[in-house]
């Protein structure tokens, strides 16, 4: 579970109207209500509005170097 980051959205955004609003107006613009999901064989972000799944275990974490400032 060391890769689990706890990425989620504020609880108030979880009501039915907000999910409908995101599915209708924001998801088509590629702005999603991502919530982190972790299991023994998968680590991904899932949009609670449109069910888009992005597997984040395959991405590398980016850490800018000090001299790049």
> In the chain, how many domains are there?
1
What is the rounded distance in angstroms from the CA atom of residue 42 to the CA atom of residue 38? 6
Q: Is 51 inside any structural domain?
A: yes
Domain containing 15: what range? 11-58
Q: Is 64 inside any structural domain?
A: no
pLDDT tens by residue, 25-61: 999 999 999 988 887 777 888 999 999 988 876 666 6
Q: Is 47 inside any structural domain?
A: yes
Predicted TM-score (pTM) of the model is 0.70
Which distant-in-sequence residues (6+ apart) come within 8 Å of 68 by Cβ?
Answer: none
- Strands of 34-38's sheet in order across: 34-38, 43-47, 53-55
What is the rounded distance in angstroms from the CA atom of residue 39 to the CA atom of residue 19? 24
Q: Is 35 inside any structural domain?
A: yes
Q: State whether residue 69 is helix, strand or coil.
A: coil
């Amino acid at each position: 579970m060391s890769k689990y980051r706890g990425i989620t959205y504020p609880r108030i955004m979880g009501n039915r109207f907000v999910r409908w609003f995101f599915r209708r107006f924001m998801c088509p613009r590629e702005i999603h209500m991502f919530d982190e999901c972790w299991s023994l064989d998968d680590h991904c972000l899932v949009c609670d509005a449109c069910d888009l799944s992005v597997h984040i275990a395959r991405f590398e974490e980016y850490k800018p170097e000090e001299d790049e400032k």
